[in-house]
Amino acid sequence: MSDKIKITLPDQSIKEADKGSTVYDITGLIGKGLQKAALAARVDDVPVDLSAPIDKDCSLSIITFDSEGGRDIFWHSASHLMAQAIRRIYPGAKLAIGPAIESGFYYDIDIDKTLTPEDLLEIEKVMAQIVEENLPVTREELSRADAVKLFSSMGEIYKVEMLNDLPEGTVSMYRQGEFVDLCRGPHVMNTGIFKSFKLLSIAGAYWRGDEKNRMLQRIYGIAFPDPKELKKHLDFMEEVKKRDHRRIGRELDLFSTHEDVGGGLIYWHPKGARLRTIIEEWWRKEHFKNGYEILYTPHIGRSTLWETSGHLGFYKENMYSPMKIDDNDYILKPMNCPFHIKIYQTSLHSYRDLPLRWAELGTVYRYEKSGVLHGMLRVRGFTQDDAHIFCTPEQIEGEIKEVLRFSLWMWKTLGFTDIKAYLATKPEGSVGEQSRWETAQESLRKAIESANLKVEIDEGGGAFYGPKIDLKVRDAIGREWQMTTIQFDFNEPERFDMYYIGEDGQKHRPYMVHRALLGSIERFVGILIEHYAGRFPVWISPVQAILVNVSEDQVPFINAMKSNMIDRGYRPQADTRNESMGYKIREAVTQKVPYICVVGKNEAENGTVSVRKRGEKDSVTMSIDEFYAMMDSDIAEKR
């Protein structure tokens, strides 16, 4: 029997190695640079540690920080490093979970002390000591019963609870020095790999996300192999902090939330409400232009409606408890679609009536746990930019193309140009005829092709009731947001027995498409605030110009100009307070308005205005008509 094994690499080249060689040793045969960068590997597509031995022919791909799954491994290992440091400082701390997340890692801990930012610095120091110790990270396997005994002896009640939820069998854990943690892995080879890390913040988190459980302390962190990458990330996080819509919302007086009367509910202040009104009026105008009709439907419906739609079966945990009215149960609507279907059913439809494009800015209510509520981005009550299309099989391809075109036009008009499509296809356990799925998926695929969009296929990622397209947009600092959804539904037309009369005089089931372009108004405005950092384009700015007087003598001129601007459809604000001109200009700058217009003695006498555009230091004196022409040009160009 040969003592050699053949290793097939991703480029289909083959390396020979001694039987029983570790992945790390084999990586060295490929290249010393790759060996240094390696974090873990996939052997026959199964993730393994670098220390894992290989004793048979196989395929091998090396996982580095920049390859798929690499960051998760690095950050998960960093969470173990942090947990070890915490246990050294606070021996009585109990560890819950410490996963990698999209932007780093966290660990939930149960500790009597309330941690402060200064405590994070102390934890970082101990983490650096463990890095210097360069401890090997090793995998161990033992029976579930033995694992329960081990973690019980350590007082790790949360680990024991997780173990008791697992089936009988073998479990894995990872050890580094005196520290051991329950984990599937894989992990890095040693603690010396962590050269750059930073603990970022502390938050509260209920154990297992359940408000009935104990509140734990969650420590967030980030780590990179290269110090330059860490600095770049921290600079990015600082920019994110500057753009936080909650902070800017307060500074610009756009909205507020009030925990004392209910979390996850948005209060729109006058300027925020003006911004929302501008967007909604534009939304309605463009929908009418694109062949949609606007609907308005109730906020509540009898529970029997939600039984028919199926929401009480598959969406109940996100719905609020029924309220009793006239001995019937009513529920706050989480969706608009059943109401639109009921309108559809008020009359008989022919194939000649289709397609029907019905849109609604409908306010819905969905339960979210308090721990995930986040300003405007994660709320409990929100207004959906919603629409439903009912059409024939012959119309579906054209309708999907048109929806996608309309969506892309709206996003580009709003200043988002980096857009990617995600096509989710038929999952296991889906409902609806196979032919309908095939037709639907093909129409989605062709629409994406015709729009020349970047696309990623999510095989089997569709809802059980239909395939969909999700559009994700990148904002000004490169973050990706999932926004538009174009979703087929083969479930509700069946449940409500929807039909139209075809050319053959027979009943036929219409295609039904759910469609949200902006998603929800609340979340969209939150993202819009962060995208522009509060510096909205002129056409959607709630205040387009602030008019500032130099002395009391110019107040009549300012008031007349303001009235004239309002008559012309502009949105001015006058600041005629008895404050210095410099003070009023500084305050106007902090409000991020597109134009600051100063009127002194000369301007009032000559019928001119001194205009300072946002972001510019110098002012330009011009006639009022020239100022209006400049505004009109900026509005027309969506600047």
Q: State how far the Cα of 484 lies from the Cα of 523, in Å rounded to an integer.
A: 12
CATH number of the domain that residue 38 is part of: 3.10.20.30
78/53 same-domain check? no
427-444 pLDDT tens trace: 988 888 899 899 999 999
* pLDDT at residue number 113: 92
384/486 same-domain check? yes
108/45 same-domain check? no
Residue 90 placed within a domain: yes
Question: Is residue 1 over pLDDT 60?
Answer: no
309/280 same-domain check? no
228/82 same-domain check? yes
39/161 same-domain check? no
Residue 533 placed within a domain: no
Among candidate residues 176, 181, 337, 380, the one labeled active-site is 337
Average pLDDT value for residue range 256-283:
96
First CA to last CA distance, the chain: 74
Residue environment code for 21-35, b if the CB has 16+ CB neighbours within 10 A, otherwise e? bbbbbbbbebeeeeb
CATH number of the domain that residue 375 is part of: 3.30.930.10
Among candidate residues 94, 468, 562, 584, the one labeled active-site is 468
Strands 104-110 and 215-224: antiparallel
65-88 pLDDT tens trace: 999 899 999 999 999 999 999 999
Q: What percent of the chain has pLDDT over 70?
A: 100
Among candidate residues 49, 108, 181, 386, the one labeled active-site is 386
494 CB-side CA count, 13 A: 11
What values do phi and psi take at 215, rounded to 5?
A: -80, 125
* pLDDT at residue number 309: 92
328/219 same-domain check? no
Burial label, 132 (beta-carbon count in 10 A; 0-12, 13-18, 19+): exposed
167-218 pLDDT tens trace: 889 999 999 999 999 999 999 999 999 999 999 999 998 898 887 899 999 9
Residue 479 placed within a domain: yes
564-606 pLDDT tens trace: 999 999 999 999 999 998 999 999 999 999 999 999 999 999 9
Q: State how far the Cα of 57 lies from the Cα of 44, in Å rounded to an integer.
A: 9
Does the annotation count 366 as an active-site position? yes
Does the annotation count 514 as an active-site position? yes
Among candidate residues 84, 176, 217, 384, the one labeled active-site is 384
Structural domain boundaries, residue 625: 545-636
Among candidate residues 71, 187, 333, 388, the one labeled active-site is 388
Among candidate residues 80, 159, 514, 612, the one labeled active-site is 514
Q: State how far the Cα of 567 lies from the Cα of 573, in Å rounded to an integer.
A: 13
The model scores a pTM over 0.95: no
Strands (E), 187-338: 196-206, 215-224, 255-258, 262-268, 293-294, 300-302, 323-325, 328-332
Does the annotation count 434 as an active-site position? no
CATH number of the domain that residue 175 is part of: 3.30.980.10
Q: State how far the Cα of 33 lies from the Cα of 35, in Å rounded to an integer.
A: 5
Tally of domains in the chain:
5
What values do phi and psi take at 143, rounded to 5?
A: -70, 160
* pLDDT at residue number 555: 95
Average pLDDT value for residue range 98-111:
94
* pLDDT at residue number 79: 97
Nearest of 527, 542, 590 to residue 244 by alpha carbon? 527
Report the chain's mean pLDDT, rounded to a whole number: 94
Does the annotation count 388 as an active-site position? yes
Name the one residue in this structure whose structure tokens are 């031995």. 53
Residue 463: pLDDT band with limits 50, 70, 90:
confident
50/86 same-domain check? no
**Of 335, 361, 390, which residue sits at a domain end?**
335
Does the annotation count 468 as an active-site position? yes
Interhelix angle 270-289/521-532, rounded to 10 degrees, is: 110
213-226 pLDDT tens trace: 999 999 999 999 99
16/161 same-domain check? no
